[in-house]
A and B are shown apart, each in its own frame.
Chain A
């Protein structure tokens, strides 16, 4: 992820060149981030596409020298939140995770799940199960703090809340992870 943290150096780019550079430097990181948030390829593709369209439209509002990754993560996060709200309004529940254990006949049909994801989900280690048990907001904070290694300040900028809120959400999420990991480890043979 280190290469993705490089800033968009050239400030003389035009709109199309800016998009191309952003796609080239941050395409993989953005798609991975979207995938980690959504937990499925189709949603991650849609989210990434919409995020880069927003980048193209709002390219002038990007301040050179600041973190492009933080900027696009913020866009992805907002889009994902909007999408979750939209779906919640429709289904009154969050779309289940791809790897989450699902009752037979319920949720998404097995056929649309890539086999490696199914295997990974089925034999997943306690931390994976625990991570899936977190709410979308908590998962997002853990993702940014522990996997993307963003500072609390950066996370606050991305998520659009105060540093104090980031801190308390992370503490709660980590506390829950701790409890769940211990529970899964005790229950596993």
Chain B
């Protein structure tokens, strides 16, 4: 007989077949020759038996209608709801006002952007505009340069390339 008594936890593991093979054999041999440990094992087995007896009394069958309820829940999850079906049916009709709203938003949005671009026009635009307004012959295509913006005597070194022609 092995003199070392197994702990209660080891007896629990032994009864559940969860001890390593060598330890299992040692506990088995010990219990065979130790009345105290055999009593402890019997007490544990009695608890397990009572648990199982109680469990047998609790065994249940799937309640009638539950399988149908499960199938129906799955079916309703799988098939679209009434609202989804309605919205799908009216989708082309709903698209028209949505498209109109998008178009309006785009128009308004780009309108604002256009103004923003106009504000970044540089000074030459105003010079040309002023020149067009001050032109002697309207619609002639010739643009008279306003006197104030020209000088009679351009500096000699301003257009050196022209002089070489």
Cα separation A52 to B52 with both chains bound (whole Å): 26
Please report the C-alpha to C-alpha distance between residue A127 and residue B54 in the assembled complex, in whole angstroms: 9
A167 touches B47 (CB 8 A): no
A170 to B59, CA, bound (A): 22
- B58–A171 CB distance below 8 A: no
Interface size class of B (residues with CB under 8 A): 20 to 34
**Are A151 and B18 within 8 A (Cβ)?**
yes
A174 at the interface (CB under 8 A from B): yes
Q: Which residues of A contact B161 (CB under 8 A)?
A: none
A36 contacts partner chain B, Cβ-Cβ < 8 Å: yes
Stretch from A6-14, A74-82, A85-93, A141-149 contacting the other chain: A141-149
Say how far B133's CB is from chain A's closest CB, in angstroms.
76
A167-189 vs B: 1/0 string, CB under 8 Å? 10011001101100100000000
Q: A31, B13: Cβ atoms under 8 Å?
A: no
B43 touches A23 (CB 8 A): no
A83 at the interface (CB under 8 A from B): no
Query: Which of B22-70 touch A at CB < 8 Å?
Result: 43-44, 47-48, 50-52, 54-55, 57-63, 66-67, 69-70
Question: How far is the CB of B66 from the nearest CB of chain A, in Å?
Answer: 6
Beta-carbon contact of B61 and A146 below 8 Å: no
Distance, CA A174 to CA B17, complexed state (A): 15
Check if A28 sits within 8 Å of B12, measured CB to CB.
no
A151-B8 Cα distance, complex, nearest whole Å: 19
- Report which of A27, A41, A142 forms a contact with B51, defined as CB distance below 8 A: A142
Asked if A48 lies at the interface with its beta carbon under 8 angstroms from chain B, I say: yes
Report the contact-size class of chain A (Cβ under 8 Å from the partner): 35 or more
| A94 touches B (CB below 8 Å) | no
Instruction: Kindly provide the distance from the CB of B57 to the nearest chain A CB, expressed in whole angstroms.
Output: 7
A140–B77 Cα distance when bound, in Å, is: 31
Q: Is the CB of B52 within 8 A of A147?
A: yes
User: Closest A-chain residue to B69, C-beta based?
Assistant: A49
The smallest beta-carbon distance between A25 and chain B, in angstroms, is 11
Residues of B within 8 A of A30 (CB): 62
Are B12 and A170 touching (Cβ within 8 A)? yes
A158 to B53, CA, bound (A): 23
Judge whether B116 is part of the interface by a CB distance below 8 angstroms. no
Bound form: Cα–Cα A108–B131 in Å: 95
CB distance from B19 to the nearest CB of A (A): 11
Contact B66 A48 (CB under 8 A): yes
Q: CA separation between A65 and B51, bound complex, in Å?
A: 30
- Chain B residues contacting A175 (CB-CB under 8 Å) are 8-9
13 pairs from A and B in contact (CB 8 Å cutoff):
A31-B62, A31-B66, A48-B62, A48-B66, A49-B66, A53-B77, A56-B74, A127-B47, A131-B51, A142-B51, A170-B16, A177-B47, A178-B8
The 9 closest A-B pairs by CB, nearest first: A127-B50, A27-B62, A147-B55, A171-B9, A32-B60, A52-B70, A146-B51, A31-B62, A28-B61
Inter-chain pairs besides A32-B60, A48-B62, A151-B18, 18 sampled, C-beta below 8 Å: A28-B62, A36-B58, A44-B60, A48-B66, A49-B70, A53-B70, A53-B77, A131-B54, A146-B48, A146-B51, A146-B52, A147-B55, A151-B17, A170-B12, A171-B9, A174-B12, A175-B9, A181-B47
